[in-house]
Chains A and B, each alone.
Chain A
Amino acid sequence: MRVSLEPSYVLHARPFQESSLLIEALSRSHGRVGLVARGARGVRSRWKGVLQPFRPLLLSWSQKGELGTLTAADQVASPPPLAGESLFCGLYANELTTRFLQRSDPHPGLFERYRQLVAELAVGDPAQPALRIYELQLLQAAGFGLQLEHEFGTSDPVREDAWYRYVPESGPKLRKYEEDRAGELISGAALLGLKSGQIEDRHLKELKALMRRLIRFYLGDKPLKSQSLFH
């Protein structure tokens, strides 16, 4: 299979054999792909400085087995590089994507979302809402979609003024007893905000806690390394 000029982002590059790189990339129509960039670590490599994360690229490759061989990498534009806290957020998104997405499982919608996230991070906008929406779409792409509109069990619509406890794999359950731990509660308004993609600042904290709990639930006992950057 030959793929030509496919919009992609490098998620990660690691040394491979003598002078090559093994690239994990997120592409628009082929999902996450593993590509070998032959000679990319050589002194005179034409890809020097190009195969870096967070840069919109047009990648071309040929693929027979699980890994493809990179044949060309063109830089589309030169956006401002991510800096500071945004860079950590970007590395977090990349780790999350690599952990949740299987290779060769295309999700063009998720790719668009990733592109928007990187663009927002590059200009240093408040990245938290964009990160939450990306996390939501990534979970959906991985087959762990969230139920945000209907209550678990009763299928009643989620109400803005009610409080819920989100049960992983099931959905929001209306808060019944006072003994519910406050940290795990989430407001209906926050759930609906996440659903519509219009996240208000006052809901950021509870949504972050919710997504963190769900991500930990699905990743099991191997936590994300990038979270240690934020201390």
Chain B
Amino acid sequence: MSSEPLLEQLIDSLRCLPGVGPKSAQRMALHLLERDRDGGKTLSAVLAESMERIGRCRECRNLTEDETCSICANEQRDRDQLCIVESPSDVIAIEHATGFRGRYFVLMGRLSPLDGIGPEELGLEQLAEQLGQRPPQEMIIATNPTVEGEATAFYLQRMAQKHGISVSRIAHGVPLGGELEFTDQSTIAHAFSSRLAI
């Protein structure tokens, strides 16, 4: 490769992005330097500022540049429904796909003892405090349908019950447009056992 230290440093730094190996990093660096210096400058300025200024919402732990995120600050959002998700991308997914008008709490992970993640690491004390001070009517648990996600859901369910809050869990089943033949056994079993009367 090149013997230009700064260029090498740039290529190396770009590799911290997901899905970017040495080849793509080199292509990105050369593209910015050869064809899009303005874009590169804007990127570096925005990146630097974002890393400095974006923190966590003090209510829901989602990423925000203010003290509270736009969803928590919005008075129109329903305080009676609280949806618990694992990550900020889950908030985006639910916001895009549903007409949910309640609020969120972002765990930034899931209970996973083997990864050293317990209730403290997920900010569940903060959540318990919120449930005590201003309990919503319904807690919607939208953690992923994995073993760790289910364990997290059960832990949350017990927390909510302590505060007398009704709990619901998002449904899991056959994907829309999918075919039973190509759906895995566990999903079919789950979809079958939690079928709905129509």
Contact = CB atoms under 8 A, between A and B. Distances in A.
Contacts of A52: 146-147, 186
B150 A87 contact: yes
Contacts, number: 74
Interface in B71-98: none
Nearest to B119: A228
Given A48-B184, A49-B184, A52-B147, A225 B116 contact: yes
Contacts of B177: none
Interface of A: 11-12, 14, 18, 24, 48-50, 52-55, 75, 78, 81-85, 87-88, 90-92, 94-95, 98, 224-226, 228-229, 231
A83 B118 contact: no
B114 A88 contact: no
13 contacts: A14-B115, A49-B187, A50-B186, A52-B147, A81-B147, A81-B190, A82-B150, A83-B154, A91-B147, A91-B151, A94-B113, A225-B117, A226-B113
Interface residues of A, dominant DSSP: mixed
B5 interface: no
A74 B120 CA distance: 36
Nearest to A225: B113
A145 B114 CA distance: 24
A14 to B, nearest CB: 6
B161 to A, nearest CB: 12
Contacts of B185: 75, 78
B157 to A, nearest CB: 8
Contacts of A24: 114
B113 A224 contact: yes
B154 A228 contact: no
Nearest to B147: A53
Contact of A94 (B114, B119, B154): B114
